[in-house]
Amino acid sequence: LQKSMEDYQSGEECPDYSDINYQVYLNESVLSLVLTCTERVSGKTEYRVYNLNVETGESVQDDAFCQVMNWGPMRLEQEVKETAAQQAKIILREYYGEETTDEALEETYGYLRTMADTNLERVKLYMADDECLWAAMDIYAPGYGMQRQLVQVS
């Protein structure tokens, strides 16, 4: 990724990405770097999130966000799941129709894929300038598969 970023900035041909952008956020001692990478061939946008403790230089784990948000680990997990469920239903309603009930959506392949533990384990959290907790998470979109999105958790 570093090589791709350097090639892109130098104007040289970047084989994997047609565009790479980044945002940096500093909240207390947590530096969050959010990379937005657009794949050259597919045009698909990827979001990559890295969190570092600026005092220690070490990677920041989710428990640090529990402290910043003044939440326990169970609440953090619940908030992430609720956010994923809401986002999945928004996308699935666009496909199945606005009149589709929550219960019907919760039985669809897309909803089940989004809410699978193996998918939710890949969620990457970060703090933005608005001091809200955000997540890069995969949401299933019919016809497109899993799509990485940036969504506000709190």
Q: What is the pLDDT of residues 52-71, one digit of tens each?
A: 999 999 999 888 888 888 89
CA-CA distance, 80 to 42, in Å (whole number)? 28
pLDDT in tens, 17-46: 778 899 999 988 889 999 998 888 877 888
Quote the pLDDT of residue 9: 62
* Cα four-point dihedral sign 112, 118, 122, 128: positive
CA-CA distance, 103 to 43, in Å (whole number)? 33
Task: Give the tokens for residue 79.
Answer: 């908030």
Name residue, tokens 């997990």.
Answer: 77
pTM for the predicted model, two decimal places: 0.82
